[in-house]
A and B are shown apart, each in its own frame.
Chain A
Amino acid sequence: MSGLVLALPVAVPLLAAGVLVACPGGRRAQRLITSAVSAGILVLSAVLLAGSLDGTVRGLSMGGWPPGFAIVFAADALSTLMLCVSAALVLASLAFAAGTGDDASPWFAPLAMILSAGVYGAFLTADLFNLFVFVEVMLVPSYALLTMSGGRARTAAGRIYLTFSLLASTLLLAGVGLVYGVTGTVNLGELAGAARQSTAAALAVGVVLLALAAKAAVVPLHGWLPRTYPEAPPAVTVLFSGLLTKVGVYGLLRVYAVVHEGTGLRWPVMAAALLTMVVGVLGAVGERGMRSILTFHMVSQIGYILLGLALFTRAGLTAAVFFLVQYVLVKAALLMCAGAVETAYGTDRTDSLARREPLIAAAFLVSALSLAGLPPLSGFVAKLGLVDAAATESDHLAVGVAVGVSFLTLVSMVKIWAGSFWGGEDPSREESLLRLMARATVRPALAVPALVLTVPSVVLGIAAQPLLTAAAEAAGGLLDASAYVRAVTR
């Protein structure tokens, strides 16, 4: 397949957004368009992924101008893997939004399409300024979706989310400016190894990394995420969880691998990774609501991925990429469970769900155990990979922290399970819940997306090897970026 198709994941959703704005039609028509587009991109990215497993990197110079002057898209194993999982997540979120009714507004679908175009573009571009643009294409719809339909709590959260993201974006822009100031280029390929060759370039790229870290919610730049995500409409939280911070993480992986060639920042990255893991999980165990716990957790998971980046070995990067992919799906399933409960009961602080909502309970259970890294689920393979990689590097502090954080993850998942799914010890609560029971159950339309997303948890654990192979290929592309660099410069 030629590189020409690389533009489709950006162009088609934007076109679809235009069509959706023009003729909103019924909700059914909107759902048909959005899911067809997302499914198409999922298939396309799966084909691209299959084609990149042999190390091929496809490049596309926009407008046919010479690379280096044009904006270049590149698809290697990492990019296509991210594309795949994002498209799958968009599809799942749209299905879930149809269940929760979050897609009631005619503006929801076009905004979701623009957002997804931004995400795909960010994963594909090999141009720092273009990355900034696509991050904005992704963020501006997210502002709108977060604050959807207003209300005091949501606008307050929206204000924090928006201002923080905007500050990070401004930093990113300034960083790109400084990079251009030092090197005279914003093409990632031409920047290969720049940070190793000059301190000035390293500092300029440092600002870019700082901005990406803020977008990825790396501690101490994480506070906005647990504060704002739980306030979003349930389906929007799912959409955000799998896409937004992941763009930041992807950016960190790519830029650090290409521009720093994976060296020079081992200790700062490791410190950030461990701190992020610990603070994220502690914050999670301290929260009360289901969604709050789950969103605070996201911070901790970012730390795990950074751990692999800090190690920058084949095993570490493979584990980090594997972790990233499976965790996006697992976390989405968990947030769908919480969102389904919230939609049906009006709150996520319920109890006795194990008895009343067996489907949700099953979906939650599998995903929570996977998140906690219990075998034989996907989260186990991911955590084992990271622990193994850290131990091989004799980084015993990292091993200890990873395992300790894993334990606290279990604590937090058990907190949810014992509180919301067993629970019911408090007789006064029981009484009020009896009334709730009378009127509320989770409709199948709400439970099915979460159940479907538990399938990868199991499959990626028991049959982990195919994804591990893809992740290893992605890791290889980060370890040795020369093929990527060739594809985007030529």
Chain B
Amino acid sequence: MSGEGGALAAALLSMGVLALLSPVLDRRLGRDTGYVLAVGFLVVAAVLAPAASTALDGGAVTFSHAWTDSPEISFTLRMDGLATLFCLLVLGVGALIMAYCPRYLTAGGRHGRTYLLLTLFGGAMLGLVLAGDLLLLFVFWEMTTVASFFLIGTGGARAARPAVRALLVTGMGGLALLVAMVLLGIAAGSTDLATVLRAREEVLDSPLSPAIATLLILAAFTKSAQVPFQFWLPGAMVAITPVSAYLHAATMVKAGIYLLLRFSALYSGQTGWVICLMGVGLFTAVLGAVQALREHDLKAMLAHSTVSQLGLLVAAIGVGTTVALAAAILHTFAHALFKATLFMIIGVIDRQAGSRDIRELSGLMRIMPVTATLAGLAGLSMAGVLPMIGFVSKESLFQGFAGADVFPGAGVVAAALAVTASVLTFAYGMRIFYGAFAGPMLQRQLHEPSWAFIAPAAVAAVAGAVLGPAVSVLDPLMRQAVLNAEPWAVPPYFAFWHGLSPELFLSALTIASGLVLFSARDRVDRMLQRLPRPDGAAAFDRVHSAVLGAGAVVGRPDRSDSTAAYLARPAAALVVLGCVGVFAADGPGIRAGAPSDPVDWGVLALLAMAVAALVRTRSALAAVSLLGAVGLIVALWFLLAGAPDVALTLLLVEVLTAMTAAFVLSDLSTRFPRPRRGAAAAALAGAAGLVAALGTLALTGRRELSPAGAYFLEAAEPETGGRNVVNTILVDFRGLDTLGEASVLAAAALGLLLLLPGQPDGTVGGPRAPYGRVLGPAHRLLLPGIAGLSAYLFLRGHYEPGGGFSAALVAGTAVAFGYLAGRTGPRWLSPRPLLAAGLVLGAAVGLAAMVLGDPFLTPFTIPVPGGGLSSPLLFDAAVYLMVLGLVVTVVDRLGAGRAEHR
């Protein structure tokens, strides 16, 4: 990495620093910040000067720094002749625009954001042309798009829609560029731009080649406003004039041109490339010129003119000959000069006269002779009239087009179209000048703008005039740029005067026809106004709203309030999975399991009947009873399957569920609404049931006792001292599951507390309990028994069916009973202390093991008088507390509401 390479990075960095400084400067200097920035741009240019001179000698200066490995993005900057040319435009025109801004922008306003964005844009554009890595090129490309979006947006509320159009159109192109870069990286085997450009053979031989070319063209066409994307550029004119001049005339729209020039090294001369670029480019050139000729707004005319000129450039790049390519490069330069001048002048007119409409402006030549002269110089350059630089570049273009040979006669057609566009250009150039400056003087109070306001325009205009005769000054730069675009080319020398060449004849023809057109301007105008206007913006808006509409349609199913709409989808997915399974099941397939016990069949029949009755009933009371019955039958099933613990727990859960449901249902209508669309639901439910049954049949009961199961049966007693293996798993082996489960209950209880507001007195139960007189004594009688049972279940859990969970549920029934009896429990028997104690105890028991240096939840024994208190017992106590906490909460929050409701 040379010092010059570091200069490239320093230049970019300086642009960033300048951008960040600009709001600060704006606070002190106001609108004059622009002058500082203009100097800044020139300093950056000076920093780049040594690198530029190396580049012009045929070398290339590079800077490289790794950004990411995979995906590989390298921060590689590379300055060669082509990059130098564009740097000159970015910084040179940029400095002029920055010097123009202070007198254009309103005094006293805040312009920090505008300056920030403009400078950021300048930096991004500089990065774009200096990027030496495919993906880095994309990075800067997108940054220019975003900067453009916000700069257009500075135009106020009416700018929102055009800004969005510009962003989306160029953003689409940006994504095309991204894919192009990724594919190109794959095809060429590298993302280093210089390496890729040397790998022409590999890229062209790759099957990805046509796709890459198409995507590159798409990206370039959106950025450089080619048909059918041209509409965003005239729309972008709502931005302030410096933005239009800098981004939408001189630089950003040239990014597409730069891209096409850059990748000419790969695709130049390829038939598809040639036809596409020339066809679209020339069509755009003519269309843009026609559009420009029918506008009345000076800025709109210039916008369409830019579209037209960009079309000429695209077409010239497409021709594929060195002459045409050289012409395109020179014209890029010339266009930046004259178009920036014209925009600045129009900004001046707008500020001085308060209008840009040629129907309102007239006779400004007498009031502002200097301004008029500058406009004339730039206009002549645009029209391609001697001795301007525009004349030289236009002649070169004619020469280039005439040499087109993609098919026989292509040169004639291309030259004819180019001449047509140029004739129209001459005509609208006259229209601009004549419309603003000629005619009677209407606004006498106007005066010439201050020299500071027009000086930047003057510099560009004079440069355009001087560089025509002195075009050979540019030769080193232009020739090197041509060489970089087409490494195999023998670049031509530009000459101001070619002698009596065919091009001169075409120029003369252009001017003559243009004058004819101008002299018949009223008739032409009427005719043009009758032509249909291609309204790309409206078409874009239609597509845009169609997409939004389609989105609304896609989202519509997800606005339903019915749970069935959401629950049906997983059910259907399960059925689909089942169908896949039936087809995929190879090997054992589905076979009947071991012969089942006759008792099983009996229980099954009961179950089926209960379920059938449950789904059919419309009585809430019957539903609660049937649900309880189903629970009982399932509990019986578990008992028969050798799971007494499960059966006991399920039984208790059923009791409490039924109790809760009864609390809630007393509030609700006791008849369910008549079902609708029952058949579809039944079909889906039936299918899901079938899948579940087949799945169970095929995927269970086909192996021996699992190693884990065998281990637990074997190790439970020796390892934990417990004989109830299931309980040892819950509190010892897989205590974490149990801690999680208890936390779920605590969360459910906290959720109920959050969801349902508390009782005024916050106690469990209440004096208004419904059956107090009868149940009160009964409760007093039963309470010791229930408490004793609960304690018994809890303590024996490790050895026999029981444990913290079932014990707490038993205690919970006592609380529920107490509520119904209208008895107030003790203060600690309320949600907060129970839940808090449970959560803290559960986590603390587990963490205590860690304090001892063992893994979380490792059992340990706490020595207490009369033996040891084992940690699993404490853990089970935590579970007990949380379960009881939930039951108490339910009684408190759901039961309470019921009482109040009566």
A425 and B160 contacting across the interface, CB-CB below 8 Å: yes
Contacting residues of chain A (89-122) with chain B, CB-CB under 8 angstroms: 105, 107-108, 110-111, 114-115, 117-118, 121
B334 near A: Cβ within 8 Å?
no
Q: Interface size class for chain B?
A: 35 or more
**Complex interface bits, B818-852 against A, C-beta within 8 A gives 1, otherwise 0:** 00000000000000110111111111101101100
- By a CB distance below 8 angstroms, the chain B residues around A183 are 703
**Complex interface bits, A53-87 against B, C-beta within 8 A gives 1, otherwise 0:** 00000001111111011110000000000000000
- The CA-CA distance from A66 to B835 in the complex, in Å, is 32
Known: A19-B836, A464-B67. A388 touches B182 (CB 8 A): yes
- By a CB distance below 8 angstroms, the chain A residues around B706 are 180, 184-185
B551 and A285 contacting across the interface, CB-CB below 8 Å: yes
A32 to chain B, nearest CB (A): 18
A171 near B: Cβ within 8 Å?
yes
- By a CB distance below 8 angstroms, the chain B residues around A8 are 850
- The CA-CA distance from A204 to B691 in the complex, in Å, is 12
- The CA-CA distance from A226 to B178 in the complex, in Å, is 30
Known: A227-B559, A414-B168. A392 touches B186 (CB 8 A): yes
A18 and B836 contacting across the interface, CB-CB below 8 Å: yes
A223 near B: Cβ within 8 Å?
yes
B186 and A425 contacting across the interface, CB-CB below 8 Å: no
Contacting residues of chain A (23-64) with chain B, CB-CB under 8 angstroms: 23, 60-64
Contacting residues of chain A (375-425) with chain B, CB-CB under 8 angstroms: 375-376, 380-381, 384-385, 387-389, 391-392, 396, 399-400, 403-404, 406-408, 410-411, 414-415, 418, 422-425
A310 to chain B, nearest CB (A): 17
- The CA-CA distance from A407 to B167 in the complex, in Å, is 11
B739 and A286 contacting across the interface, CB-CB below 8 Å: no
B695 near A: Cβ within 8 Å?
yes
B563 near A: Cβ within 8 Å?
yes
Closest chain B residue, CB of each to CB of A108: B754
Known: A136-B744, A296-B555, A465-B67. A22 touches B840 (CB 8 A): yes
B67 and A375 contacting across the interface, CB-CB below 8 Å: no
B4 near A: Cβ within 8 Å?
no
A346 near B: Cβ within 8 Å?
no
B839 and A21 contacting across the interface, CB-CB below 8 Å: yes
B747 and A374 contacting across the interface, CB-CB below 8 Å: no
- By a CB distance below 8 angstroms, the chain B residues around A237 are none
Closest chain A residue, CB of each to CB of B549: A286
**Complex interface bits, B406-424 against A, C-beta within 8 A gives 1, otherwise 0:** 0000000000000000000
- By a CB distance below 8 angstroms, the chain A residues around B563 are 159-160, 163-164
B567, B746, B844: which contacts A114 (Cβ < 8 A)?
A: B746
- The CA-CA distance from A380 to B143 in the complex, in Å, is 12
Closest chain A residue, CB of each to CB of B167: A414
- The CA-CA distance from A23 to B832 in the complex, in Å, is 9
A130 near B: Cβ within 8 Å?
yes
A287 near B: Cβ within 8 Å?
yes
- By a CB distance below 8 angstroms, the chain A residues around B753 are 107
B839 and A282 contacting across the interface, CB-CB below 8 Å: no
B179 near A: Cβ within 8 Å?
yes
B852 to chain A, nearest CB (A): 11
- By a CB distance below 8 angstroms, the chain A residues around B743 are 14, 17, 114, 117-118, 137
B171 near A: Cβ within 8 Å?
yes
A399 and B179 contacting across the interface, CB-CB below 8 Å: yes
- The CA-CA distance from A224 to B182 in the complex, in Å, is 36
B552 near A: Cβ within 8 Å?
yes
Closest chain A residue, CB of each to CB of B561: A156
Of the 9-residue stretches B31-39, B244-252, B527-535, B855-863, which lies at the interface with chain A?
B855-863
B588 near A: Cβ within 8 Å?
yes
B574 and A376 contacting across the interface, CB-CB below 8 Å: no
Contacting residues of chain A (311-370) with chain B, CB-CB under 8 angstroms: 314-315, 318-319, 369
- By a CB distance below 8 angstroms, the chain A residues around B850 are 4, 7-8, 11
- By a CB distance below 8 angstroms, the chain B residues around A315 are 70-71
Known: A15-B844, A178-B695, A465-B69. A223 touches B565 (CB 8 A): yes
B699 near A: Cβ within 8 Å?
yes
- By a CB distance below 8 angstroms, the chain B residues around A181 are 696, 699-703
B566 near A: Cβ within 8 Å?
yes
- By a CB distance below 8 angstroms, the chain A residues around B157 are 422-425
Known: A11-B846, A18-B839, A21-B835. A287 touches B555 (CB 8 A): yes
Closest chain A residue, CB of each to CB of B878: A18
Contacting residues of chain B (164-205) with chain A, CB-CB under 8 angstroms: 164, 167-168, 171-172, 175-176, 178-179, 182-183, 185-186
B175 and A406 contacting across the interface, CB-CB below 8 Å: yes
- By a CB distance below 8 angstroms, the chain A residues around B839 are 14-15, 17-18, 21, 110
Number of interface residues of A (CB under 8 A): 134
- The CA-CA distance from A449 to B166 in the complex, in Å, is 32
A394 to chain B, nearest CB (A): 9
Of the 9-residue stretches A147-155, A431-439, A451-459, which lies at the interface with chain B?
A147-155
A207 near B: Cβ within 8 Å?
yes
- By a CB distance below 8 angstroms, the chain B residues around A105 are 754
B182, B570, B700, B835: which contacts A221 (Cβ < 8 A)?
A: B570
- The CA-CA distance from A193 to B743 in the complex, in Å, is 33
**Complex interface bits, B525-568 against A, C-beta within 8 A gives 1, otherwise 0:** 00000000000000000001001111111110111110101110
A484 near B: Cβ within 8 Å?
no
A14, A69, A150, A284: which contacts B711 (Cβ < 8 A)?
A: A69
Closest chain A residue, CB of each to CB of B139: A375
- The CA-CA distance from A180 to B482 in the complex, in Å, is 71
- By a CB distance below 8 angstroms, the chain A residues around B146 are 369, 374
A286, A380, A410: which contacts B139 (Cβ < 8 A)?
A: A380
Closest chain B residue, CB of each to CB of A365: B150
B750 near A: Cβ within 8 Å?
yes
- The CA-CA distance from A12 to B840 in the complex, in Å, is 10
B767 near A: Cβ within 8 Å?
no
B695 and A163 contacting across the interface, CB-CB below 8 Å: no
- By a CB distance below 8 angstroms, the chain B residues around A403 are 175-176, 178-179
Known: A144-B750, A178-B699. A61 touches B855 (CB 8 A): yes
Closest chain A residue, CB of each to CB of B715: A69
- The CA-CA distance from A375 to B740 in the complex, in Å, is 43
B523 near A: Cβ within 8 Å?
no
**Complex interface bits, B701-739 against A, C-beta within 8 A gives 1, otherwise 0:** 111111111011001000100000000000011111101
28 A-B pairs whose Cβ atoms sit less than 8 Å apart in the complex: A7-B847, A15-B839, A69-B715, A69-B733, A110-B839, A114-B747, A130-B740, A144-B750, A147-B751, A148-B755, A150-B756, A160-B563, A167-B570, A178-B700, A203-B577, A210-B577, A222-B558, A223-B565, A223-B566, A223-B569, A282-B554, A283-B555, A315-B70, A392-B186, A400-B179, A403-B179, A468-B68, A468-B70
B residues in contact (CB < 8 Å) with A: 66-71, 73, 135, 138-139, 142-143, 146, 153, 157-158, 160-161, 163-164, 167-168, 171-172, 175-176, 178-179, 182-183, 185-186, 211, 544, 547-555, 557-561, 563, 565-567, 569-571, 573-574, 577, 580-581, 584-588, 692, 695-696, 698-709, 711-712, 715, 719, 732-737, 739-741, 743-744, 746-748, 750-756, 832-833, 835-844, 846-847, 849-850, 853-859
Listed from nearest, the 5 A-B pairs whose CB atoms lie closest are A286-B551, A144-B751, A18-B839, A184-B706, A7-B856
